Amino acid sequence: MDLASILLGGLAAGMVLFVVSVGLSVTMGLMGFVNLAHGGFAMLGGYAVVLAMRHWGLPFSAALALGFVAVALLAALLERTLYARLYRASELDQVLFTIGLVFVMVAGVTLTVGPETQGVQLPAWLRGQTDLGLLKYRTYSLALIAFGVLLMAALWLGFERTRIGAQIRAAVDNRRMAESMGVDVRRLFTLTFALGSGLAAAGGGLGAEILGLDPQYPLRYLAYFLIVVAVGGLGRVSGVFFAALALGVLDFVLKVHFPKGGTMFIYALTIAFLLARPQGLFGKRA
């Protein structure tokens, strides 16, 4: 494979990682909650898309929107009823709770849908190849890259230009200060948690083509989502963007050249990076 193809394939995978992980980064940065169940929301979104298309005949984009809304609502409900009880609990309790939640999601999907891998039927306009002049490449991967860039731009504008965005940035940097300035951090967290989980759901649907979709999804990619968040820096959207792209490209290259055990280098690099910069790419030193 030539360099450009590898780069494009890796960027497409990286964009999926970005869409899934960005919500995790913001909620972890905001509340310091160790949420290992985030990948579970992505998986649920993927299943929502697949099932809505198969049983209700919804078009791909409508199914994505539905997955986003449904998972965001579910996340808001879970946040209010269960997550909120553990904000002050130890890291260990949060880890246990969210691992338990992942198991429940995995088992629930296995019981209701089945253990087999699900495929997404892409619409005609996203199938096939697109001629870029210099090379031809899979249309869907190009669309993913375009979507990821647009989302990054939208999030950047949202964070920099809207009131809610400013409140989130303030609360990530200094929660107590933000509270004393009248920011309702509780409500803010429900909102960002729901939006972040909804984005993960969209990422699950968009990425089913690349990452696959089966009940083991949240466990298989747990380490990758966490790496993206930790390397990018908690609550740093642009950090997550670059970390996700780097991981996507690196993973793609390694899978092509060292199909067996090549991801070892990813873990080694992550360890070295986090030891040198425990606060991540753009995080502030504590």
Partner 1 sequence: MSLQAATLEAATRHRLRAWEALPWLAALGAFFLFPDYLAFGTQVLVMILFALSLDLVLGYAGIVTLGHAAFFGAGAYTVAMLAAHAGWNEPLSGLAAAALVAGLLGLASGWVLLRTHGLTLLMLTLCTMALLEQAANMFSGFTGGFDGMPGLAYRPILGLFEFDVLYFRTQYLYALAVLFACFIALRVLVHSSFGRSLTGIRENLLRMHAVGAPVRARQVLAYAVSAALAGVAGAVFAQATSYVNLAVLGLERAAGVLIILILGGYGRLYGAFVGALAYLLLEHTLSKAYPTAWQLGIGITLVLVALYARNGILGLVDALRRRWGAR
Which residues form the interface with partner 1 (CB under 8 A)? 28, 32, 34, 82, 85-86, 89-97, 99-108, 110-111, 115, 219, 222-223, 226-227, 230, 234, 258, 260-264, 267-268, 270-271, 274-275, 278
Query: 9 near 141, Cβ under 8 Å?
Result: yes
Q: Smallest gap, in angstroms, from Cβ of residue 264 to partner 1?
A: 4
- Euclidean distance between CA atoms 259 and 17, whole angstroms: 20
For residue 235, give the nearest of 30, 42, 32, 17 by alpha carbon. 30
Which residue lies nearer to partner 1 by CB, 165 or 262?
262
Q: Smallest gap, in angstroms, from Cβ of residue 210 to partner 1?
A: 20
Which residue lies nearer to partner 1 by CB, 149 or 269?
269
Q: What is the 3-state secondary structure (H, E, C) of the chain?
A: CCHHHHHHHHHHHHHHHHHHHHHHHHHHHHHCCCCCCHHHHHHHHHHHHHHHHHHHCCCHHHHHHHHHHHHHHHHHHHHHHCHHHHCCCCHHHHHHHHHHHHHHHHHHHHHHCCCCCCCCCCCHHHCCEEECCCCEEEHHHHHHHHHHHHHHHHHHHHHHHCHHHHHHHHHHHCHHHHHHCCCCHHHHHHHHHHHHHHHHHHHHHHHHHHHCCCCCHHHHCHHHHHHHHHHHCCCCHHHHHHHHHHHHHHHHHHHHHCCCCCCHHHHHHHHHHHHHCCCCCCCCCC
Q: Smallest gap, in angstroms, from Cβ of residue 217 to partner 1?
A: 14
Which residue lies nearer to partner 1 by CB, 127 or 257?
257
Q: Smallest gap, in angstroms, from Cβ of residue 234 to partner 1?
A: 7
Which residue lies nearer to partner 1 by CB, 59 or 115?
115
Q: Smallest gap, in angstroms, from Cβ of residue 273 to partner 1?
A: 10
Which residue lies nearer to partner 1 by CB, 104 or 181?
104
Which residue lies nearer to partner 1 by CB, 185 or 266?
266
Q: Angle at Cα 240 formed by Cα 73 and Cα 272, nearest 5°?
A: 130
Which residue lies nearer to partner 1 by CB, 100 or 128?
100
Q: Smallest gap, in angstroms, from Cβ of residue 40 to partner 1?
A: 10
What Rg value do the Cα atoms of the chain yield, rounded? Answer: 19
Which residue lies nearer to partner 1 by CB, 58 or 219?
219
Q: Smallest gap, in angstroms, from Cβ of residue 278 to partner 1?
A: 5
Q: Smallest gap, in angstroms, from Cβ of residue 104 to partner 1?
A: 4
